[in-house]
Structure 1
């Protein structure tokens, strides 16, 4: 499809008179512009590196300090350097170019620079110490104590002006290593709710033995690692939890994000892709320039770690026999698009600039209009990324390490991201809400198992009717980071960029824009057999997923706040009540919490099933219990949950510590019955809240229709549930539920009904309607 003459810079022919060169000036111009763009990018990265490296200081601050020092020394005729300048001057050779005054100036500049560096060092370390204090988290909800206000003033004072995305990285504290004693104590506390007396006594014996004998030994190695590295958890977590997993990452690891729930900006697939791709590339440009603002907590004063942003684009997971690796390239000027079994390479830059939305739409229209057939094995090729990792790793080495296959695979793996122009239609249908949303979720989670490249950092999926969504690989980052990108893409799409009246992107097509390049594959029958085997595994996994989406609109955080209860604690207790009603028993519950208050922090586990939550659930199930007693137990359970959440966020969680202790024990070749049993316990209820981070992008009070459906993930345990939820505005909470059809114990739709009823039942305890009547 690409114009052939654009592929070469010159042609030549041999004639009797010599060699006749036929230069293509347009191609040479594109080469020049490409090089110019590359050097500009290098300069911006260098400048950002300098700005980040001296934060909370700035180059302007250097000029102020040096000039101030020189002025003070000149007009007071004093030497505030205590003779250092004079000593420095003696080591600077006197020549006709450097006078004695020049020596003093040079010495003054050196001393002033040293003073500036010292100021930066002090400010950075003071800021690091300030950010190590987390007492602000224990303020009563909605209030800020005087001590916290004073602390915020100090944080502001020692922070620099106009921080970039990575400015705070060197000022963030390291993740602390909890003591073995405290971790064992809190583990036993969490286990008490799920064990009878006999099992608990046995586990208590194993725990105490570990605390006394093996624990101190493995803890020593972990302490040593915490002193030597930025984060004692993150690298092992990435390697052993994600990269060393040999099972399919589709469903088991990858997760998805949905489009707007009620708004459909355009029905044109190519146009929606044009705006979305352009928005994503604008985000990448801001990311390359470090212009994305850091994410904060507490009145935009407490920064979170930004390390996970580094591998958002130009990244792919590369399969290996024993372990996978993450491949990230600094520069990628193209994306790869999949449509009806064909792969296309689409350049994102022309004339030295990023393509406009209408030009990207033009490229998508060319792909949609292409009627060529897939090459043998090409249609289902991406199923290799959906199946087991070992067959994919071996096939990659054997069939994709040379020739056109290597070139084509490089194009996919080094693309900025992967795009699928899906040939199905997905959308929320008010007339059939359950089936339409369930189908939409499953399509984003796994699709046809061969129309998503699951190894890419993320896949942008645009459906035939203009609806879209994301599928993201989990290794390189957690959901909030992908969510940050997705929020900006959604916000830019209908509002900032917009569409013409006919549904097309605004702007004009380009008359001489080279078309997409069809990737060429040569897939032998042996490889096609491996593809078919991977597809069979992936299909079985996908068919077993039972997805259910609930837009819960009975009430939202607005009413929950009137109950003077944390919305997250409220929902977690509702999930506990719903699970007990669903299965008649309690289970080990995982709630994801972030540890990004620390350098390179990722997640920690909040064990939401506690003795206190069980007491509350039993009270709700006991018809004889009074409303007052249920309310009291609710408050106790909610306070306990909030305390556990705070501990997880502030580095006092137990599960990442236990995980790392286990890794060290394996390195030492020592078996720990306690650690082995703890790490093998199944999470039959795995939950996560998707935060809406950039509230300013979505004015839900004025435009309540601009709400996203959130996102979800597959079930973690074969006989368990996965639940993701997003709190949107004051009146909507979306739940994403997953389980497996093959388990006789689970049913996502049944569990969804229990969740809705549990939410209503808990709210009714507060009798808000009666309070409102009294006020009237």
Structure 2
């Protein structure tokens, strides 16, 4: 189950500060080495906090049983202490005791398709072009912006980010370009071609299900200009007009074990192998999509979110992808655009920082003339389709179309207020939104559920994420009081403030490496590594309930007016991502149609009502001295 929570993508609090740096060779390495190591939290502290986290989501009888198991686990000289010591030894020997385990457990050993189940998408504002010319001009400018960002990575002049005055690990930025996931029979792997003599000089462009290798540097090493790129993209468009090509990219949407078999089969042919390697080695992929089917304005953004996540199915743009590629920028002929990214190398914030840079870059006017040099024809990547590969493609199409039909996604722009309102009440906007989600869920289901919000561990070397458990004793007291006639507005407002404060405290604890989830995972994996029998604590029903995140949520703030989206992590859950702007909030809410109990539009309705009711409550009740 822990593998399922891998996709939450947020940084938990506020926008990160940046500090530009002049180029110093080895600057990145020096910065990394100066960062602290991720601590192993004290065992007793984690166990106490685990019991506290269980209180709002399990029955008193279940809690009593778990308390006994915890008492057994925490005994002096017992199994808990032995596993804790093993973790502490591991922490001394490694750069980060968690990062390798987390990469394997949460991503590379996760066998469901990356599409919907793992890879997040980003919906960018609709562009105002409506034809091929506009599409290719925008795509060319976008590629130029990507290369501009890549120069900062290559030169190690990327601004270091800070949170709360502390420098953050920048490693993820160095993993997102020129990288790709490779399917394996039991565990996938990641390749990266960003460094060394074999450094990538090309991107992959996909149009009409056909793949092209486009060299994006001139012979003198300078990146191609937008004008040059436009010429090359036109050549690609004109070459790929015939439509009788098999959508080879559909194979990457399949269950990882099925895709691994098909991948090995595909690579038996020398031409196919060369084409696949060219895709894997490319800096990124740019997908030139066919226009989306026309829909009404009120559902347009939701349809774009679905396009970003899965491409719309085998009859639309899903074959216009290579989903194992870390970064795929999507530009459709109708002006809809965004990106989908393979989650293993990075969390959301580095992706969004790159996107913010690229979107700003596309708005810049062209400077100077392009070199008048003859540019070679982009190389078409050819595939020999055997009957066996054709069969694999047909099966992948069927499986994908079932997934596409099953995904229920709603993008909601909440216009009544943005992060400015909670800030005016001296409440963290993130905590306020999380409490609104708790209230919406409670009103829908009359119970609280395990809720995952991603916390960044980037204060530590190679830090990824831990879990902010938004459901707390305080959040439950608040949501129960909200519709109770026995409580005054003042009492409800006080409970709301107390709950947001508790969320803020858990967030601070999590980003400092003291949350419970990754520590518990570490203890469990240590038991597997030590070949000791699995402690009963991890076989307990309460543990399964605690790890079944009906709400998987993520704040991913961006300067661009965009929103990230991802699928639910459990069959009966919701995936909720949000970008709080000053005057409005962008939400993307997902669920599965195959679950009768969940509905993304219904959740959006309840969430909107919760946000409005909480504002009314705070405005009606005088501020207390909590």
TM-score normalised according to structure 1 size: 0.73
Which residue number in structure 2 is paired with residue 351 of structure 1? 219
The 3 A distance-change label for structure 1 pair 590 and 351 is: same
The one of 338, 344, 348 aligned to 1:469: 338
What are the superposed Cα offsets for residues 15-69 of structure 1, whole Å, 9 maximum, x if unpaired?
xxxxxxxxxxxxxxxxxxxxxxxxxxxxxxxxxxxxxxxxxxxxxxxxxxxxxxx
> What is the aligned partner in structure 2 of residue 32 from structure 1?
none
Contact 1:234/1:600 (<8 A) preserved: yes
- Shift of residue 220, structure 1, vs aligned partner: 1.2
Question: What pairs with 1:649-664 in structure 2 (closer than 5 Å)?
Answer: 649-664=511-526
Q: SS at the partner of 1:535?
A: helix
Q: 1:768 to 1:351 in 2, by over 3 A?
A: farther
SS at match of 2:95: coil
Residue of 382, 403, 409 corresponding to 2:270: 403
Compared CA separation, residues 160 and 386, structure 1 to 2 (3 A): closer
Find the aligned partners of 2:372 and 2:282 in 1 and give their Cα distance: 23
- SS in structure 2 of the partner of residue 450 of structure 1: helix
1:553–1:414 Cα change, 3 Å: same
Tell me by how many angstroms 1:570 deviates: 0.6
Within 5 Å, which residues of 2 pair with 1:33-48?
Answer: none
Partner residue of 1:455 out of 324, 331, 340: 324
- Which residue of structure 2 aligns with residue 743 of structure 1? 595
Task: Give the Cα separation in 2 of the matches to 1:182 and 1:653.
Answer: 9
CA contact under 8 A between 2:129 and 2:135: conserved in structure 1?
A: no
Q: Which residue of 2 aligns with 1:644?
A: 506
2:195 is the counterpart of 1:313: no
In the alignment, structure 1 residue 295 sits paired with structure 2 residue 161:
yes
Whether 1:284 and 2:146 are equivalent positions in the alignment is: no
Q: Secondary structure at the match of 2:400?
A: helix
Give SS of 2:237's match.
Answer: helix
Q: Which residue of 1 aligns with 2:8?
A: none
The alignment partner of 2:151 has SS state of helix
Q: Is the 8 A contact 2:21 2:157 kept in 1?
A: no
CA gap of 1:256–1:426, structure 2 versus 1, over 3 A, is farther
State the Cα RMSD in Å: 2.4
**What residue number does 2:557 align with?**
691
Per-residue CA distance 1:727-746 (angstroms, 9 max, x = gap): 11x21111110000111111
TM-superposition CA deviations, 1:147-179 (whole Å, max 9, x none): xxxxxxxxx9xx998885554211111111012
Q: Quick one: which of 298, 306, 311 aligns to 1:442? A: 306
SS of alignment partner, residue 295 of structure 1: strand
Question: TM-score scaled to structure 2, two decimals?
Answer: 0.90
Task: Tell me, yes or no, if the aligned pair for 1:426 and 1:463 is still in contact at 8 Å.
Answer: no
What residue number does 1:617 align with? 479
More helix by share: 1
CA contact (8 A) 1:426 1:465 kept: no
Matches within 5 A, 1:199-278: 199-212=62-75, 213-260=78-125, 264=128, 268-278=134-144
Q: Per the alignment, in what secondary structure is the counterpart of residue 265 of structure 2? A: helix
| Paired position in structure 2 for 1:304 | 168
Residue 187 (str. 1) matches residue 50 (str. 2): yes
**In terms of mean alpha carbon deviation, does 505-514 or 760-769 score higher?**
505-514
Specify the alignment match of 2:614 in structure 1.
Answer: 762
Q: For residues 605 and 769 of structure 1, do their structure 2 counterparts lie closer, same or farther at Cα, with a shift above 3 Å needed?
A: closer
Structure 2 CA distance for partners of 1:357 and 1:166, relative to 1, 3 Å: farther
**Distance between the aligned counterparts of 1:274 and 1:769, measured in 2?**
54
Matched, 1:673 2:536: yes
Paired position in structure 2 for 1:727: 580
Q: Report the alpha carbon displacement of residue 519 of structure 1 after superposing the two structures with TM.
A: 1.1
Whether 1:576 and 2:452 are equivalent positions in the alignment is no
- May I ask how many residue pairs the two structures share in their alignment? 587
Q: Which runs of 5+ in 2 are unaligned?
A: 1-12
Residue 359 of structure 2 is matched in structure 1 by 490
- Cα deviation, 1:196-241, whole Å, max 9, x if unaligned, reads 2111101111222122232111111111000011111111000111
Distance 1:768 1:629 in 2: 12
Q: Confirm whether residue 339 of structure 1 aligns to residue 204 of structure 2.
A: no
Specify the alignment match of 1:98 in structure 2: none
**1-structure distance, mates of 2:588, 2:28:** 31
**SS at structure 1 position matched to 2:586:** strand
Does structure 2 conserve the Cα–Cα contact (< 8 Å) formed by 1:362 and 1:509? no
Contact 1:358 1:506 in 2 (8 A): no
Which segment drifts farther, 185-194 or 356-365? 356-365
Question: Which structure has the bigger radius of gyration?
Answer: 1
Distance of 2:368 and 2:339 partners within structure 1:
24
Q: What CA deviation, in whole Å up to 9, does each residue of 1:378-433 have, x standing for no partner?
A: 53211211111112212222331441111111111111111110002489x8xx44
1:351 is displaced (CA, Å) by 3.2
| Structure 1 residues without counterparts, runs of 5 or longer | 1-140, 143-155, 499-504, 693-697, 699-706, 772-776
Q: Is the 8 A contact 2:266 2:389 kept in 1?
A: yes
Which residue of the partner structure matches residue 465 of structure 2?
A: 603
| In structure 1, distance between residues paired with 2:470 and 2:240 | 53
Summarize the Cα distance change of 1:738–1:506 in structure 2 as closer, same or farther, 3 Å threshold: farther
Match of 2:258 in 1: 391
Look up the match of 1:360: 229
1:506–1:737 distance in 2 versus 1, CA, 3 Å: farther
Secondary structure of the structure 1 residue equivalent to 2:110: coil
Match of 1:3 in 2: none
Where 2:322 maps in the other structure, the secondary structure is: coil
Greater Cα offset, 161-170 or 268-277: 161-170
- Per-residue deviation, residues 342-387 of structure 1 (Å, max 9, x unmatched): 1111111123221100111111112222355356xx5321121111
Distance 2:552 2:508 in 1: 19
Q: Does the CA-based 8 Å contact 1:251-1:714 persist in structure 2? A: yes
